[in-house]
Structures are given as structure tokens and as C-alpha cells.
Amino acid sequence: MQMRSRSETGSDQQPDRDMISDLKRGDGPSTDRFVRENIGWMLASARRIVRDRSLAEDCVQAAFMNVFKNLDGFKGQSSLRTWMHRIVINQALMTLRARNRLQEKSIDDLLPVFDASDCRLEDPWVTLENPESLLVQSQTTQTVLSLINGMPDIYRIVLLLRDIEELSTSEVAEMLELSESNVKVRLHRARSGLKKLLEPFLRGQDL
Amino acid sequence: MTAPQPSLRRRLHGMFFKLPLMITCTEFETFILAYLEDDLPPRQKSVFEFHLKVCRECRDYLAAYRASLELAKGALGQDRDHLDDDVPEDLVKAVLAARNA
């Protein structure tokens, strides 16, 4: 599933316009189809952010209510799906904020180390495993997910929004109320932290 | 945290990276994101790529940085596919009921 957030205009949006007018009319079968077609990816996006199935379901319900309530405000500057994607992510972020989960926490222990000559300290990589081959084992996927979930939220969320949800830097900055340069710094730190966390897998060591 | 004292070889390495048109590993670090997003101007890009050629540590680091991102994307992608097929009917009904309320 690709979740591009760039604007889509022109004839591509005719199905969106048809669906919106069906929804506004309160057409039962169309509403049913609309909910069933979108609820899966919305739940997945929300769950990745809030890391809790039940909270994610609450987010999705609230997001659908927002979608239905604001159909008149949808101007077609993006696809309907892109618009809904932002709504569900904002809803999930609000849930995290309500639980004070977006507080600053240090990631310094996971960042690269340099010596006094500004040279990087990095043990030689005798083996660098292929990520695709590693993911054949379902246990690996679960451990990787749990390591990502253990990262400090503010870094994990930037990583998720930019690299997984594929939002732009400016969209992430707006959603998290950060400057774009701050988002970039956090993204790089998050990826550096990720590298450190996943290093044993990639070196072919047992975790 | 105090940076570790480098060996003679590493000190020479560090001096080499401070020559004109070169960058140190710490400078390289600050350019990684822009390099991967193809945001570096051509001159900076070639300086970055030269460092990559001559510095084993940064080359290994960047390869692992890229591989870890791929591993994370793959794991999250598998999880998303699994969740897509796993929507409780109760939730669908609750959304539809709220819409019709």
C-alpha cells in the first residue's frame, strides 16, 4: 500500500467526488463500502502510532466521525484517502499527547560515536545480512517491531510518519508542531538509533 | 561524554580528513540525511562521496544505516498487511451505527 501525500488532481478524483456525494446523500450501501474499504489501513496506521489495539480502534472511530462531519470542508486538493490519512494520524497523535507520550526522551545512547579526531568509531562489518532474507522468519519481524516500539516516542513517531506513512517533512513538521529542520534532525537521529538497535540482526548475531 | 583518545593511525586519518575539500566523519554524519534525500548541491555531494570512498568506518556505517531502515520498513509492512486483514466486524458496525445515528 502506498500512501503518497502529494496532491492529486484531475480526472483521478472523479471516484472520490462520486463517493463524497454518495456519503453526503447518506447512501447506505456506499457508506458501508467506504467504511470497509478504508478501515483496515486506518486501523493499521493508528495502531502503529498508539501501539495499542483498543486505543487504535477508538482513534479510527473518531477519525471516521471527523471525516463524515467535515465532508463539506474537503476541497479536493489531495485525494480523499490522503485527506483521511492525515485525519487518522492527527487523531492518533492527539491520543498520544493526551497520554503525555510525546515528551522529550534522550536517544543519545543509540547515536554514533566519534573519537577526539572526529573519526567515527565503528566495528568492522564482516557480515551485513540482507534485510529481505531476515524478514522470512516471523520471529525476526516481531522482534524488530518490538525494538522500534521501544524507541522514545518523539523519534519513533517522526520515523513512522516520514519513512513508513511517507508524509513530507513539512507535513510532519505541521502535525508535530516542530520546525522542518527539527524534523530532519530527529529523523536522522531516529534512523541512527534504529541502526544501533537492529545491528545485531544485521551482523547475523542472535538477539 | 569525553571522546575516546584516538590511536596514531586514527589521528593521521583525522588530519587527512581536515585537508581542503575533505570532510571529517562528524561532518559526514550531518550530511547523511540530505545525501539520501538527494538534497546536497553537486559540490557537497562529491565531497561526501569522496569521504565515503576513503573512510571504511563511514562506508560500513551508511550501509548498515540503509539496511536497518529497509529491515524496519519490511517489518512494519508485514505488520500492516496482517492488520489490514484483521478488522473486527464490531468496529465496522460501530462506525456505521455512529454515522447513521
DSSP state letters, A86-129: HHHHHHHHHHHHHTTTT-----GGGS-EE-TTS-EE----S---
Longest dimension (CA), chain A: 68
Measured between beta carbons, the chain B residues lying within 8 angstroms of A27 are: none
ipTM of the prediction: 0.84
Query: pLDDT tens digits for B33-53?
Result: 999 999 999 999 999 999 999
CB contact under 8 A, B96 and A124: no
Q: What is the pLDDT of residue B8?
A: 80
A39 neighbors A57 (Cβ within 8 angstroms): no
B40 neighbors B31 (Cβ within 8 angstroms): yes
DSSP B20: T
B4: confidence class by pLDDT, cuts 50, 70, 90: low
User: Nearest 5°: phi and psi at A116?
Assistant: -70, -15
Higher pLDDT, A6 or B30: B30
Query: pLDDT tens digits for B51-88?
Result: 999 999 999 999 999 999 999 999 988 877 676 667 89
pLDDT at B31 over 50: yes
CB contact under 8 A, B78 and A135: yes
Looking at residues B12-21, what average pLDDT do you find? 80
Window 79-98 of B: residues touching A by CB (8 A cutoff) are: 79-80, 83-88, 91-92, 94-96, 98
Segment-wise mean pLDDT, segments of 10 residues, chain A, 207 residues: 43 76 85 93 93 94 95 85 94 90 77 92 93 89 91 93 93 94 96 96 82
Measured between beta carbons, the chain A residues lying within 8 angstroms of B94 are: 61
pTM over 0.80? The answer is yes
